[in-house]
């Protein structure tokens, strides 16, 4: 919880928001101090717990409350603050550690801001060596800057802090959509869809994406910044798919409860690459164990994390000196294109789900495969490999990185067209032990290429505009 403590009882700043359909009021206040995830004791000591009688023109319903607090909502910086931050970056780049907006940019603001938060790192997910020094510089830079807040007397608190809450908020909560004027089909285009029926035909919550009428999205799925403008992509229930690309002609299915996000990154040598984050929406990225011997207790896609990368050391899986969490687990291989990264991740999630169900290749076709015993790598070497077989044939372009659902129906296999070497290559690419470099979530934040992501999203926006209103 982030609490903005404001100056209260200021009738001169009282505003009536007549344009809003609900009968509630707001005050324009100066924030004295921002508290980042405070305890109840800290809120009381700082005077952030407010009694109803302290607010002028309090409504009857609000007066029935015993106590309440002001929490954060939307915020923005003006040009003066933006200019300071830009100059700070130019003078201190590269910034090696992650800087938190709430923890590092807002806490220096306000007339009563103090530097005591600088050494408090209990809420820091990724600790860098120079975090304390960087925090101190940011505090010196921004301290003394005023912070104005619009304090709403009556409001709702929507918490979108987990992947499951993200789906629930955008797909299930009609109140959130109606109160904020949100659409389930926002700045998107469906190629082949009639404009009047696109939202009903596509389903789900689609934002800033280009899709086709062959795509199918469950009503409880979120798709954002995606380009699925050729073949059909089926997204099952409770999925979040972000920044993914697929322009192939074959049908793909993303299994339920899957989170996928493709991110442009730099490899350790500085070369542009892509990586796709892959989690179950039920995974707990903050779950932590105290020793590597307990790492099997960390759940990844409802499996033991160690079953995904068997035989590795703690430093190989989590990095030297890093907390033992999914956040720091090195699970995501690099690819040269956004599409190949997305398809590789899709093959992996299908191998998680199908590992113990059935072999990919029937017994009579075993001569064209060379699979390791599943006991050595349960997740990826069980036959549900990274391979594309279309009507029983391997793709003509020879790109071993193409995957269709992570497996092919055994009834369609044709020994005349199954290439042994290609299949072995695909199997190895889906085996995490075969990748020299694997990134964790923490690594992706460190090596992300934000400029390339912005450029690619701008290109996607242009395509969407042309699809909506052809020139």
DSSP result, 35-80: EES--HHHHHHTT--B-GGGSTT--HHHHT-S-B--B-------HH
Question: Mean pLDDT over all residues of the chain?
Answer: 75
**154-206 per-position pLDDT tens digit:** 677 778 888 888 898 888 888 888 877 788 899 999 988 876 666 666 788 99
> Would you state the structure tokens that stand for residue 24, as one six-digit string?
């509630």
Mean pLDDT for the stretch of residues 220-244? 93
Task: Give per-residue pLDDT as tens, 375-432.
Answer: 333 333 333 333 333 333 333 333 333 333 333 333 332 332 223 232 222 334 457 7
Cα–Cα distance, 283 to 368 (Å, whole number): 36
Residue 183 CA: distances (Å) to CA of 3, 135, 166, 170, 243: 29, 38, 15, 9, 19
Residue found by looking up tokens 């919550």 in the block? 205
Q: Which of 157, 36, 5, 7 shows the shortest CA–CA distance to 105?
A: 36
Alpha helix ranges (H) inside 319-449: 338-354, 420-430, 441-447
Q: Where in the chain are the domains?
A: 1-157, 161-256, 267-446
Among 175-184, 331-340, 435-444, 450-459, the minimum mean pLDDT is found in 175-184
Measured between alpha carbons, how far is 335 from 399 in angstroms, rounded to an integer?
12
Q: What is the pLDDT of residues 31-89, one digit of tens each?
A: 888 888 888 898 888 888 877 666 555 554 545 557 778 887 777 788 888 888 889 88
233 pLDDT higher than 70: yes
User: At 21, is the pLDDT very low, low, confident or very high (cuts 50, 70, 90)?
Assistant: very low
Euclidean distance between CA atoms 456 and 49, whole angstroms: 45
* pLDDT value for 256: 94
pLDDT of residue 286: 86
- 102-148 confidence digits (pLDDT tens): 778 888 888 888 888 888 777 666 667 778 888 899 999 999 888 88
pLDDT value at residue 268: 92
In degrees, rounded to 5, the angle at the alpha carbon of residue 161 between the alpha carbons of residues 158 and 166 is 75
pLDDT at 388: 34
């Amino acid at each position: 919880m982030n609490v903005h403590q404001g100056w209260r009882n200021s009738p001169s700043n009282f505003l009536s928001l007549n344009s809003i359909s609900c009968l509630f009021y707001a005050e324009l206040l100066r924030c004295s101090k921002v508290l980042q995830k405070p305890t109840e004791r800290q809120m009381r000591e700082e005077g952030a717990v407010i009694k109803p009688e302290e607010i002028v023109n309090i409504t009857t319903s609000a007066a029935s409350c015993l106590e309440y607090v002001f929490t954060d909502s939307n915020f923005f910086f003006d040009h003066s603050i933006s200019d300071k931050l830009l100059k700070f970056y130019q003078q201190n780049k590269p910034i090696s550690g992650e800087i938190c907006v709430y923890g590092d940019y807002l806490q220096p603001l306000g007339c009563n801001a103090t530097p005591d938060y600088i050494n408090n790192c209990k809420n820091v997910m990724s600790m860098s060596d120079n975090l304390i020094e960087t925090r101190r510089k940011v505090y010196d830079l921004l301290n003394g800057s005023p912070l104005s807040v619009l304090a709403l007397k009556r409001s709702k608190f929507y918490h979108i802090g987990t992947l499951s809450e993200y789906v629930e908020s955008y797909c299930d909560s009609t109140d959130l959509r109606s109160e904020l004027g949100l659409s389930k089909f926002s700045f998107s285009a469906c190629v082949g869809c009639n404009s009047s029926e696109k939202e009903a035909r596509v389903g789900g919550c689609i934002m800033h994406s280009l899709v086709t009428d062959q795509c199918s999205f469950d009503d409880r799925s979120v798709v954002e910044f995606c380009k699925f403008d050729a073949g059909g992509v089926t997204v099952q229930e409770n999925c979040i798919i972000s920044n993914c690309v697929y322009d192939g002609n074959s049908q793909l299915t993303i299994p339920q409860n899957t989170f996928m996000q493709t991110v442009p990154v730099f490899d350790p040598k500085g070369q542009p690459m892509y990586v796709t984050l892959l989690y179950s929406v039920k995974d707990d990225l903050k779950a932590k164990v105290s020793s590597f011997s307990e790492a099997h207790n960390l759940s990844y896609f409802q499996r033991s994390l160690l079953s995904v990368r068997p035989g590795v050391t703690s430093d190989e899986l989590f990095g030297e000196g890093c907390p033992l969490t999914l956040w720091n687990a090195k699970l995501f291989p690099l690819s040269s294109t956004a599409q190949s990264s997305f398809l590789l991740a899709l093959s992996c999630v299908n191998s998680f789900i199908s590992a113990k169900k059935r072999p990919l290749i029937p017994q009579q076709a075993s001569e064209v495969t060379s699979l390791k015993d599943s006991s050595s790598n349960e997740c990826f070497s069980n036959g549900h490999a990274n391979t594309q077989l279309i009507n029983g044939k391997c793709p003509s372009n020879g790109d071993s990185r193409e995957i269709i659902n992570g497996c092919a129906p055994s009834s369609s296999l044709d020994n005349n067209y199954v290439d042994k070497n290609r299949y072995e290559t695909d199997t190895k690419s889906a085996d995490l032990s075969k990748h020299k470099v694997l990134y964790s979530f923490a690594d992706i934040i460190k090596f992300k290429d934000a400029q390339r992501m912005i450029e690619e999203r701008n290109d996607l926006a242009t395509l969407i505009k042309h699809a909506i209103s052809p020139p």
